[in-house]
Structure 1
Amino acid sequence: MDGGPILSLEALRRLEQAAAGDGLKLMRRAALAAADWVARHCPADAPLLVCAGPGNNGGDALYAALELQRRGHTVSVLQPTPPGSAECRAARRQAEDAGLAILTELPADMPSPALLIDGLFGIGLTRPLDPAWQARIARLNRLDCPKLALDCPSGLDAYTGQPLGAAIRADHTLTFLCHKPGLFGGPGADLAGRVELATLDCPAERYPQAQGELNRASAATLARPRDSHKGSYGAVSIIGGAPGMLGAALLAGRSALAGGAGKVYLCPLDDRLPVDPAAPELMIRPADQIAALPAADVLAVGPGLGQQELAERLLELAIAAPCPLVLDADALNLIAADRGLAAAAAARRAPTVLTPHPAEAARLLRLDTAAVQADRVQHARRLAVHFNCVVVLKGAGSLIVRPDGYYRLNTSGGPELAAAGQGDVLTGLIAALLAQDLPAFDAASLAVRLHGLAGDGYRREAGGPIGLTASATTERIRLELNRLLAGG
């Protein structure tokens, strides 16, 4: 996956206008980028179907069809409705002058092409498609061939990842100028397929300030000198593990060890486990036997915490502590239910990281889960600003957001991580990286990336996404972290 900035739609439009003012023919450059992509992926004699819409995305597609014809491809063009923009009309005239046959509908007996190139609608689509367009898209989706979307799959909101009535299900998306978050999150993660960025050689100095970026957090600052000891890498205290949920705290503690913390304390609310046989390095201090939390450089509260009175009291102590704090699971639910706790968390001066899944984020925002999922970027940024903290909104295309709203969008990992306990593993890993003096935004970003890379490695080795347990993920994270440190 290539890097590159994420611009807001408004900033992207300003960039396009600036490029046009400089005389850069972005539509022609997009067409050439599409033709070059086809050259890398398709034989020269492969029959192609180019689908062009009425706007500028349709112009991209028509110019791409012209270039592909010039290079010797057999090209059919489908443009169901007349061009609506001036640039699309100019492209249509050139296509007709070049002898390209332009269909308004597909013949019933038309065989599937070797590749469908989708340029029906671009990123400007903001309203649901009407029934006629939905039917056309359904027909195109039924064609038995790979599909390449230009900029974004037609019918997909490129910023929310939500289909607008219907959307092309692409195998590949060649997006232009900058990445768009909707190609990686929500339904868009499945509809966009493999995403590649073509910057169209637009000068870097023309780019306005980015809203975010793809998550490429580095592990370089974790390199260790030979003159090291356990105190060099911080102490983490994990608070959670109520009766029936002790495993969650154990997973977080083991993950903190695997992530490099020098010492890890476990403060379970269930006092029945004196030692963890799988990780005897964990120092277990039952929460109901301590007058105060163990002295630690970082606290992580929530894995298996529960919502009883003792859980709330421990959470209050943790929020008042002057050290970095990671809040997950029932810690978030307690904050969502208590405005006093929420205000105290938002007023903290030490770094705080919240790691909600969409339902927990919805409770914190007093919304329903569907509303959060309908625009993940907006709501993750709202949470980060409101709580003056780093937020990790988990899910497809996990978002890591700073208090000022700038975000990283994670592209590693996938459905192999959709298993119980994976959130606890992530919490422990974030805490371990904080204990090694990474800033909160970088610690959360690197942890999310490593967690996803562990899932990617499992999928490659297992041949699919099923069966990765949270316990097994911990060892894979250790390997991925050392691989990144070695420059892999």
Structure 2
Amino acid sequence: MRQAHTVEQVRAAETALMATLPDGVLMQRAATGLAHAVLDLLTPGTYGRRVVLLVGSGDNGGDALFAGAVLARRGLAVTAWLLADRVHDDGLAALRRAGGRTTTTPPATRPDLVVDGIVGIGGRAGLRPDAVAALEALRGVPLVAVDTPSGVDVDTGELPDDGHHVRADVTVTFGTHQVAHLVDPAARAAGVVHLVDIGLGPHLSAPAVEALRADDVAALLPRPAPDAQKYSRGVVGVRAGSERYPGAGLLSVAGASCGLAGMVRYVGDDAVLALVHRNHPEVVGDGRVQAWVVGSGSGDGAAGTLAAALDDGVPTVVDADALAHAPRDRDDAILTPHAGELAAMLDADRADVEARPLAHARRAADAFGCTVLLKGRRSLVVHPDGRVRANTTGTSWLATAGAGDVLGGVVGALAAAGLDPFDAAAVGAWLHGAAATHAARRGPITAGDVAEALPTVLGDVLRQSAS
């Protein structure tokens, strides 16, 4: 499980760990890890390569300076561009002893790599004009950020209104992830995140945000008991689609028919039912279920189909048209909006939801009293009790019509098979993204391709857990 912590939590853990270590050891651990990450990026042929450190006044600047000293001793040409009147004294001395140079103006020769040590994790979002100018002067050079990209809001994943922040190719962080590494839009600015273990683990409190890995998904996946039969494995019902939008019903069923539940029922328009039976002859009609999937393509009938599903008192995935009638204070409901739908639910601006997804997803979970799965590049699952999971699987090819219908079906199947709403939403999002990535190996994809790839991905996960 990837775990992300707030700045306050990280600071508290660092304080506790430093009380057990000699002075300076923690920063040396971080700097060594950073230096080796830079060497790996520049390999092969690191000797003589040029590195520019952008150094601010905080500890991230100190990490960059000490790392620069390691790089200089390895034969790299290291220049620290000082962006503050006062920087980390010991780090600066170490760099100079190792042969590194300092400057307060743009370097004469374009470097091979830039290290962002401008602002530490405790800094506010945004950058000062001199830092903006430095980044502009080095535009296009590969960049490694120390801890988090300077200028982003570390605890919220938000970006400054003026757009001035670092956009890293790689971010090297220490001890734990921060929220900005997992939550968009800041996660986009972080690039590939490399975690260096510096010993914080035993001192960290419960994470602010989690992200499932394949082994977590494998551990959570429901498996049939030796004496299982179709009813004991869970039955998922789908109330989706309409004469106008028959494909939404078919795709919802396709997601639900991934094999995780023992049976799928479809209740809805006759034209959709005929389409479902042609493609999924194993699907049956109305009857008892352990979870419902409602709303995709339901149009004007969404209110009625949602009310009927909620009357059964089983977990219910509420999507698309049904979100306009979303229930409140139902701990068995999973709301699955995209940014536009969530904006309508909260009477908010869509652009603001996209700029502050974590804040709005938390607000929705609190206001509706339900688990909320906010769909996006980094989908967020938020429980009313405050737990948050960010999904890190997927591909940009997943931005295709009907993909959300498939996702709703997968989440419903997991809920019918016994996962609680929070786990069902998080595991469903992970599987959905992984299936899209698998399908996209062949090229551009459609929603149907995602549904077809689900059994393969499930098989891969289950085989990995058995080995």
Q: Give yes or no for TM over 0.5.
A: yes
Counterpart of 1:64 (choices 46, 62, 67) is 67
Residue 289 (structure 2) aligns with: 296
C-alpha distance in structure 2 between counterparts of 1:272 and 1:61, whole Å: 60
Contact 1:49 1:75 in 2 (8 A): yes
CA separation of 1:187/1:403 partners in 2, compared to 1, >3 Å: closer, same or farther?
closer
SS in 1 for 2:372: strand
1:362-390 deviation line (CA, Å, top 9, x unaligned): 22222222232333223222322333322
CA separation of 1:211/1:163 partners in 2, compared to 1, >3 Å: closer, same or farther?
closer
1:177-230 deviation line (CA, Å, top 9, x unaligned): 22123234333333211112113122x321122222222342344233454332
Counterpart of 1:426 (choices 397, 402, 407) is 407
Shift of 1:163: 3.3
Residue 6 (structure 1) aligns with: 4
Contact 1:318 1:325 in 2 (8 A): yes
Counterpart of 2:13 (choices 9, 12, 15) is 15
RMSD: 2.2
Shift of 1:424: 0.5
Residue 211 (structure 1) aligns with: 208
Counterpart of 1:138 (choices 114, 136, 139) is 136
Equivalent position amino acid for 1:110 in 2: T
CA separation of 1:409/1:208 partners in 2, compared to 1, >3 Å: closer, same or farther?
same
Residue 327 (structure 1) aligns with: 318
Residue 57 (structure 2) aligns with: 54
**Percent identity, aligned pairs only?**
35
1:312-360 deviation line (CA, Å, top 9, x unaligned): 122222223211111111111233xxxxxxxxx22335x2111111122
Contact 1:137 1:166 in 2 (8 A): no
Is 1:449 the equivalent of 2:430?
A: yes
Shift of 1:423: 0.6
Residue 357 (structure 2) aligns with: 376
Shift of 1:475: 1.2
Contact 2:224 2:233 in 1 (8 A): no
C-alpha distance in structure 1 between counterparts of 2:184 and 2:455, whole Å: 28
C-alpha distance in structure 2 between counterparts of 1:317 and 1:428, whole Å: 18
Residue 305 (structure 1) aligns with: 298
Residue 44 (structure 1) aligns with: 46
1:433-467 deviation line (CA, Å, top 9, x unaligned): 111112222221111111111122234443xxxx2
Shift of 1:271: 4.3
C-alpha distance in structure 2 between counterparts of 1:311 and 1:187, whole Å: 32
Quick check: 31-40 or 420-429, which moved more?
31-40
Equivalent position amino acid for 1:82 in 2: D
C-alpha distance in structure 1 between counterparts of 2:441 and 2:192, whole Å: 16
Residue 228 (structure 1) aligns with: 228
Equivalent position amino acid for 1:300 in 2: V
C-alpha distance in structure 1 between counterparts of 2:225 and 2:205, whole Å: 40
1:13-34 deviation line (CA, Å, top 9, x unaligned): 2222223333363322210111
C-alpha distance in structure 2 between counterparts of 1:441 and 1:272, whole Å: 30
TM-score (norm 1): 0.87
Shift of 1:242: 2.4
CA separation of 1:155/1:459 partners in 2, compared to 1, >3 Å: closer, same or farther?
farther
Shift of 1:122: 2.6
C-alpha distance in structure 2 between counterparts of 1:376 and 1:390, whole Å: 15
Residue 346 (structure 1) aligns with: 328
Stretches of structure 1 that go unaligned for 5 or more consecutive residues are 286-293, 336-344
Contact 2:329 2:370 in 1 (8 A): no
CA separation of 1:487/1:223 partners in 2, compared to 1, >3 Å: closer, same or farther?
farther
Alignment of 1:382-461 (within 5 A): 382-461=363-442
1:136-194 deviation line (CA, Å, top 9, x unaligned): 22222233xx2211111222223333333322222111112221232343333332111
Is 1:181 the equivalent of 2:179?
A: yes
Equivalent position amino acid for 2:330 in 1: R
TM-score (norm 2): 0.90
Equivalent position amino acid for 1:125 in 2: G
Is 1:483 the equivalent of 2:436?
A: no
C-alpha distance in structure 2 between counterparts of 1:272 and 1:370, whole Å: 35
CA separation of 1:139/1:269 partners in 2, compared to 1, >3 Å: closer, same or farther?
farther
Shift of 1:275: 4.4
C-alpha distance in structure 1 between counterparts of 2:459 and 2:72, whole Å: 49
Residue 89 (structure 2) aligns with: 89
Contact 1:30 1:60 in 2 (8 A): yes
Residue 288 (structure 1) aligns with: none
C-alpha distance in structure 2 between counterparts of 1:234 and 1:75, whole Å: 61
Equivalent position amino acid for 2:144 in 1: L
CA separation of 1:314/1:272 partners in 2, compared to 1, >3 Å: closer, same or farther?
closer
Shift of 1:234: 1.6
Contact 2:127 2:150 in 1 (8 A): no
Contact 2:237 2:289 in 1 (8 A): yes
CA separation of 1:403/1:76 partners in 2, compared to 1, >3 Å: closer, same or farther?
same
Contact 2:236 2:292 in 1 (8 A): yes
The count of residues paired between Structure 1 and Structure 2 equals: 454
Contact 2:31 2:66 in 1 (8 A): yes
C-alpha distance in structure 2 between counterparts of 1:48 and 1:473, whole Å: 43
Equivalent position amino acid for 1:73 in 2: L
CA separation of 1:211/1:425 partners in 2, compared to 1, >3 Å: closer, same or farther?
same
Equivalent position amino acid for 1:232 in 2: S
C-alpha distance in structure 1 between counterparts of 2:136 and 2:85, whole Å: 20
Equivalent position amino acid for 1:311 in 2: A
Contact 2:159 2:355 in 1 (8 A): no
Equivalent position amino acid for 2:432 in 1: H
Deviating above 6 A after TM superposition, structure 1's stretches of 4 or more consecutive aligned residues are none
Stretches of structure 2 that go unaligned for 5 or more consecutive residues are none
Is 1:148 the equivalent of 2:144?
A: yes
SS in 2 for 1:48: strand
CA separation of 1:81/1:128 partners in 2, compared to 1, >3 Å: closer, same or farther?
same
